[in-house]
């Protein structure tokens, strides 16, 4: 979320009105950004790998009380997972296996990448629906609040958004489950109802939709609350600018001022929000996928943590970081496309 402030800073610092060739500056901008991201990628891979090995817990210690685990078995496990090698050798093994796609889970020796891909496909509908909810609710709420600043609606939504980010996520989810199940009598836990395989298609679809809606709303609530406040303050900032006063002074209708002059400028920085949505795919979903027994990425991560499945934890962290890098890269480029001042910085 801090990203918005940073980009607003860039905006004001940028040199305006240069005579340099537009296309070459655009290419320079892209090349520079990609190069920076590549360096970051290396640092990220170091951090993702080393961070987990600095903690004392190890896969061979998951079940220390098991009487059938002899010291020689533990030694065998450690050797098989290269746990006795120095860290940089382990890092090299990890990168090699990741690149060739041969990285295996410690727990069940299944290849890591297909495993993550399956769970990613499960998480995707949840993520897409939550994102749509966030973007379709946050913008109108924030803009309306800013336009009628200080009114009942504005004060109400601001207080409500504070209330929503202050509730522990699982507390609210439990209340929602109780209410929805009690009131509508529909199933909401897990991804679909067991035993519905032979039902008619419409019933199947309705079943999937009910399972999808509640977790998505729960996952979206925090995002709506935060984003709508950012939209509101951004809109307020723009409404205080000179060109808005000019537009009003020359006698335009209030609608033309707000939708024609202010709105576009207020929404510009939110192009960068796009990149920040991606890491939420893994990090933000751990608790919600756990509550709703949703077999997605967050739950995979949680299970991997419980069984000290290092390759999965490292790879998940790494993929999340790579997705973030990609997201910020895309949003920086988009930002440069819509706002030429950025390219020259």
Partner 1 sequence: MHDSKSGASLKAEFVSLDAEGLAPQETPWQEFLRIFKKDYQALIGFWVLMLLLVTALAGKALTEWWVVFDPEAVRLTDKFLPPLSVPSPDSLPADRPFGGVYLMGTDELGRDVFARMFQGSFVSLSIGFVAVGISLGIGVLLGGVSGYYGQDKVSLKTVLIGIFLGGVLFYFNWNFLGYAIIAMLLLTWIFRLSVDTLIMRFTDAMMCFPTFFLILTAVALLPPSIYTIMFIIGLFSWMGMARFVRAEFLSLREQDFVIAAKALGVPEWRIIFRHMVPNALAPVFVSATIGVATAILTESGLSFLGFGVPPPDATWGNILSDGKGFIFDAPWLFFIPGLAIFLVVLAFNLVGEGLREALNPKLRSR
Q: At residue 309, what are phi and psi to the nearest 5 degrees?
A: -85, 80
* Among 214, 218, 235, 320, interactor with partner 1 by CB under 8 A: 320
Which residue number, 54 or 65, has a Cβ lying nearer to partner 1?
54
Which residue number, 91 or 270, has a Cβ lying nearer to partner 1?
91
Does residue 147 belong to the site contacting partner 1 (CB under 8 A)?
no
Does residue 144 belong to the site contacting partner 1 (CB under 8 A)?
no
> Could you tell me where the DSSP H helices lie in the chain?
2-13, 22-54, 71-80, 87-100, 112-147, 152-166, 169-184, 201-239, 242-249, 254-255, 263-267, 273-277, 285-291, 297-306, 310-338
Does residue 166 belong to the site contacting partner 1 (CB under 8 A)?
yes
- Which token pair is 219? 């996952």
The helix/strand/coil state of 258 is helix
Which residue number, 27 or 174, has a Cβ lying nearer to partner 1?
174
* Among 15, 31, 34, 43, interactor with partner 1 by CB under 8 A: 43
Q: At residue 53, what are phi and psi to the nearest 5 degrees?
A: -85, -10
**Which conformational region is residue 308 in: left (phi greater than 0), alpha (psi within -120 to 50 degrees), or beta?**
left
* Among 21, 22, 35, 57, interactor with partner 1 by CB under 8 A: 57
Per CB under 8 A, the segment of 66-74, 202-210, 245-253, 283-291 that binds partner 1 is 283-291
The helix/strand/coil state of 104 is strand
Does residue 10 belong to the site contacting partner 1 (CB under 8 A)?
no
Asked whether the beta carbons of 169 and 177 are under 8 A apart, the reply is no
Q: Which of residues 58-87 bind partner 1 (CB under 8 A)?
A: 86-87
Least separation in angstroms between CB 104 and partner 1 = 20
Least separation in angstroms between CB 167 and partner 1 = 5
Q: Which residues pair with 104 in a beta bridge?
A: 111
Q: Residue 320: which residues within 8 A CB-CB, separation 6 or more? A: 278, 279, 281, 282, 283
Least separation in angstroms between CB 338 and partner 1 = 23
Q: Which of residues 230-269 bind partner 1 (CB under 8 A)?
A: 236, 240
Query: Distance between CA atoms of 112 and 289, rounded to whole angstroms?
Result: 20
Residues that bind partner 1 (CB under 8 A): 1-2, 5-6, 9, 39-40, 43-44, 46-48, 50-57, 86-88, 91, 159, 162-163, 165-171, 174, 178, 236, 240, 279-280, 282-284, 286-287, 290, 298, 301-302, 305-306, 308, 313, 316-317, 320-322, 324-325
């Amino acid at each position: 979320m801090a990203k918005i402030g940073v980009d607003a800073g860039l905006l004001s610092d940028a040199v305006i009105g240069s005579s340099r060739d537009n296309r070459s500056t655009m290419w320079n901008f892209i090349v520079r950004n990609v190069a920076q991201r590549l360096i970051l990628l290396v640092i990220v891979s170091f951090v993702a790998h080393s961070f987990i090995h600095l903690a004392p817990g190890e896969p061979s210690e998951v079940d220390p009380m098991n009487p059938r685990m002899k010291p020689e078995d533990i030694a065998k496990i450690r050797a098989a997972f290269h746990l006795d090698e120095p860290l940089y050798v382990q890092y090299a093994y990890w990168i090699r296996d990741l690149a060739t796609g041969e990285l295996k889970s410690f727990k069940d020796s299944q290849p890591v990448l297909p495993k993550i891909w399956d769970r990613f496909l499960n998480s995707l509908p949840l993520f897409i629906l939550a994102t749509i909810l966030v973007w379709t609710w946050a913008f109108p709420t924030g803009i309306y609040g800013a336009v009628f600043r200080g009114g009942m609606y504005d004060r109400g939504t601001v207080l409500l958004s504070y209330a929503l980010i202050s509730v522990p996520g699982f507390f609210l989810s439990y209340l929602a489950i109780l209410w929805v199940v009690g009131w509508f009598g529909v199933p909401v836990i897990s991804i679909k109802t067991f035993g519905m395989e032979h039902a008619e298609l419409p019933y199947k679809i309705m079943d999937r939709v009910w399972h999808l809606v509640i977790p998505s709303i729960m996952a979206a609530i925090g995002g709506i609350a935060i984003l709508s406040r950012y939209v509101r303050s951004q809109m307020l900032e723009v409404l205080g600018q000179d060109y808005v006063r000019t537009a009003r002074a020359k006698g335009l209708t209030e609608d033309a001022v707000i939708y024609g002059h202010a709105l576009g400028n207020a929404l510009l920085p939110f192009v960068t929000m796009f990149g920040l949505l991606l890491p939420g795919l893994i990090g933000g979903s751990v608790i919600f996928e756990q509550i709703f027994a949703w077999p997605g990425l967050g739950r995979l991560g949680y299970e991997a943590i419980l069984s000290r499945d290092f390759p999965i934890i490292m790879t998940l962290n790494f993929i999340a970081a790579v997705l973030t890098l990609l997201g910020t890269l895309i949003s920086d480029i988009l930002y440069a496309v819509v706002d030429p001042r950025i390219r020259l910085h």
